[in-house]
Structure 1
């Protein structure tokens, strides 16, 4: 029987990362929970292979037309700092930027790296980095935002989708915000736009974009924004945005939606109250008390009762679902496991409704129940049952062997079922799923007298049923 500490550790591993293998859970279970939270939040990836070595060993990974999702998948599958990748996914869904318009794979990759490096820092620092990010500048056309010809795209979206939400600012605030961000552009923007079609994805000859502040193109006049007046630049605007209560609530609700429980889609937030207003208020207080630190907000969140009581209240995104499944199988940690196959794997994420680095709009993806359609559910079930039952995958072989070694002639069908459920991340299954598992276990037990003679078929069959269940879609 799994201990309460092990179930809680598994819950944290699903939310702060992509789940945990049985061996990882053994280690996590040995830690005091608060120390485990710190382990996820304060850990830096020390052993990660650098990008140039990955591409040298796996040239096919970088030769594909759309290599960024494949590269990112490899990082998610092999990282020893899973929250670093999880927070990158979080910001990618909010600050949604798509490759087709950018047409510069390097710029998108650099943006994702920025999310890794800055994603747990203070929210004002994150917004400043975002505002200087070349991919975002081109995505929302801020290179065409001039002091004599304002483009409001970035000014509107930083307020509506990135920080405060609809209803907390005026159209005049949008105009003043856009004025403050004039001159925030990329070097040689016209030339770089032309050369984008010749972008090289190899380590040599790559054309990178760089942020440039053009003082001559900046509107230095007086501006009135959210009730304050001054000769504001973009940094000043972000400072004003971040001290608003609406921003505290908006950021808190995003963190709750991603790390605690599914909320309604963001466009409905203006007229649908939060699922747990008290939790949002407590997170907002943490936002203010820690000077907008995302890391410290998450430290409070992961240690809270509302988090600990929220097991299996989120539907995994396609990327989470795929990475969670494949971290069990350990397939892509072997020396030749990351060429074209990992590209094909991330194509599956697109079929399930989430093509990384190509969100459907500046709103990003709608999450929660909207991840599940009749087609995407079939894709999910087929994917998981294919990989979780393949004994040629080292992780699957190890899990089956671990269950097999734990049984003896006295092991009952109920005990076997419980062991199979527990080894797949301490899952909690419905009565219907449990009954299906008991049916196959009792049949095998009555046929052979016990499970010791040939345990592998019954264990892999149990894995197939579990990975095909609706509960396996949750985290």
Structure 2
């Protein structure tokens, strides 16, 4: 099996999922690259995660209410255990684009429902997704559309719909924001029951016709007695929307771009790629599956290896899936779900409607230490099934020189293509003790410990932090 095929498949699985074990990579290479892309694009062909496996042992995860930092436990369980990696990766993508936080919503349950909506609609029709988002109670509360009345317009939702969710700054006027907001008056949620004594109750979308401004509106050059559905239809027809969403997809799946607020003044790093994705977006009538198919099969995607700094979620989930052992919902999943937040990406609680700043802004001295300590602790646990699989591969090769040990581990952990200085430093460290042998119990134990130490060094490398 060609190394280049494994490397390309590993690249696909890092971006379209959360990485893969060597066994899975070899199976997918045998299946073929384009066939794997199709498999990822059709998650319905694979069994969904059974939430009840989690709830049997952690019933609090069903409606965590306001348990600080614990609300993402269910989603964490999905990401670690899913057989539909691209479906979950798209949920993460939309959570970044349509950022909604518990800091204001104060109700994890509603944001979890929004996550489920992304899971259901995230690979389908973008227009349908926007419609669902406009009716989503968490978003309505997050962006104050419950305060948007026919006789007192609140522009928060209307502004963010245009600025961050569809077109981007510079492609609409303040008058467009006002008219857009007028069209969404009356889009609210039914009154919620109080928190006590029976706990939280689900929120529900409610349209109040008597609170809707039914007057004539002029929006992006169109005039009519528009309601919210009309606005979304007009927005989706704009070339700016196709360009904006293409840039979001490129930034998330291909290579780190400038931060979103700079897009109006900073050109994309690959304008031809953006144009290609935007064209498919338009010609497919906003079908995300069609856009993703072109993206993953493109040369610009295949050539953009290690051009993205992993987000905290990608670091945590990718390493957990690599080492294994978290499939059973054992005690501690709540604390495990907090790890992503400790690295700067508290799931279900983005810092603002703008989402998280990505790329190099993921890294500071504190978050880098968190990344290294977390991943090193996992790969250093030689009893983890994924680490055992690496050890079994090494044992099958018999006696190993330090050079062969380093090269094999770099291959199994990526493959990672490190520079010569880094490789030589790893070899220098591994050379203490001579070749790796497994012929006695004592030698096997010592070799196992050395492998664990080498894996810890590898995950602390700059190279492991990139996807």
Distance 1:246 1:355, change over 3 A: same
- Give the direction of change, closer, same or farther, for the CA distance of 1:292–1:62 in structure 2 (3 Å limit): closer
Q: Distance in 2 between matches of 1:172 and 1:265?
A: 26
Query: Could you say which residue in structure 2 is the equivalent of 1:26?
Result: 26
Q: Distance in 2 between matches of 1:338 and 1:112?
A: 23
Change in 2 beyond 3 A, CA 1:197/1:171: farther
Query: Which residue of the partner structure matches residue 203 of structure 1?
Result: none
Provide the residue aligned with 1:95 in structure 2.
98
Deviations 1:81-101 (A, max 9, x none): 011111111111111111121
Cα pair distance change 1:132/1:195, threshold 3 Å: same
Alpha-carbon distance, 1:49 to partner: 4.1
**Alignment CA distance shift 1:92-1:198 (3 Å):** farther
C-alpha displacement of 1:199: 7.5
Q: State the SS of the aligned residue for 1:182.
A: coil
Q: Distance in 2 between matches of 1:345 and 1:219?
A: 47
Structure 2 CA distance for partners of 1:60 and 1:125, relative to 1, 3 Å: closer
SS of the counterpart of 1:357?
Answer: coil
Say whether the 8 Å CA contact 2:49–2:83 is kept in structure 1. no
* Mapped partners of 1:127, 1:355: distance in 2: 24
User: What is the DSSP-based 3-state SS (H/G/I as helix, E as strand, rest coil) of the residue aligned with 2:154?
Assistant: coil
Aligned to 1:195: 194
Query: Are the equivalent residues in 2 in contact too, given 1:70–1:346 (CA < 8 A)?
Result: yes
State the match for 2:72 in structure 1. 69
Count of residues in correspondence between the two structures = 459
Question: What is the CA–CA distance in structure 1 between the aligned matches of 2:377 and 2:53, rounded to whole Å?
Answer: 30
Aligned partner of residue 11 in structure 1, secondary structure:
helix
Q: Retained in 2: the 8 A contact 1:2–1:422?
A: no
The CA deviation string for residues 286-310 of structure 1, in whole angstroms up to 9 with x for no partner, is: 1111111111101000000000001
> Aligned residue for 1:384?
375
Structure 1 residues 197 and 291: CA distance shift in structure 2, 3 A: farther
Question: Is the contact made by 1:122 and 1:291 (CA closer than 8 Å) also made in structure 2?
Answer: yes
- Secondary structure at the residue paired with 2:19? coil
Partner of 1:39: 39
Q: Does 1:131 align with 2:134?
A: yes
Deviations 1:8-36 (A, max 9, x none): 11111000000001221121111121101
Is the Cα–Cα contact under 8 Å of residues 246 and 278 in structure 2 kept in the other structure? Answer: yes
Aligned partners of 2:74 and 2:195: how far apart in 1? Answer: 20
Alpha-carbon distance between aligned partners in 2 of 1:217 and 1:74, rounded to the nearest angstrom:
41
Give SS of 2:218's match.
Answer: strand
- Stretches of structure 1 that go unaligned for 5 or more consecutive residues are 201-205
Q: In the alignment, is the contact (CA less than 8 A) between 2:10 and 2:414 conserved in 1?
A: yes
Paired position in structure 2 for 1:297 = 291
* 2:363 counterpart of 1:360: no
Quick one: structure 1 residues 286 and 298, their matched pair in 2 at CA, closer, same or farther if it must change by over 3 Å?
A: same
Of stretches 376-385 and 300-309 in structure 1, the one that deviates more from structure 2 is 376-385
Alignment equivalent of 1:258, drawn from 252, 265, 276: 252
Shift of 1:400: 1.7
Query: What is the correspondence of 1:61-210 to structure 2 with a 5 Å cutoff?
Result: 61=61, 65-66=67-68, 67-188=70-191, 192=192, 195-196=194-195, 200=199, 206-210=200-204
Which moved further from structure 2: 45-54 or 237-246? Answer: 45-54
1:279 pairs with 2:279? no
Report if the CA contact (8 A) 2:49-2:78 is conserved. no
TM-score by length of 1: 0.93
Q: Aligned pair 1:408/2:398, yes or no?
A: yes
Q: C-alpha separation between the residues in 1 aligned to 2:197 and 2:223?
A: 44
Alignment partner, residue 309 of structure 1: 303
Say if 2:61 and 2:73, in contact at 8 Å, map to a contact too. Answer: yes
What SS class does the counterpart of residue 322 from structure 1 fall into?
Answer: helix
RMSD: 1.8
In structure 1, C-alpha distance between the alignment counterparts of 2:45 and 2:276, rounded to whole Å: 30
Deviates more, 1:98-107 or 1:75-84: 98-107
Tell whether the 8 Å contact from 2:309 to 2:466 is kept in structure 1 after alignment.
yes
What displacement does 1:41 show? Answer: 0.9
Q: How many angstroms does 1:415 deviate by?
A: 2.4
Cα gap change, 1:318 to 1:45, in 2 (>3 Å):
farther
- The answer (yes or no) to whether the contact 2:49–2:82 under 8 Å persists in 1 is no
2:49–2:81 CA contact under 8 A, matched in 1? no
Structure 1, residues 226-245: CA drift from partner, whole Å, max 9, x if none? 01111111111011111111
Distance 1:90 1:198, change over 3 A: farther
Q: Paired residue for 1:423, among 412, 417, 422?
A: 412
Deviation for aligned residue 1:196: 4.8
Q: TM-score, normalised by structure 2?
A: 0.94
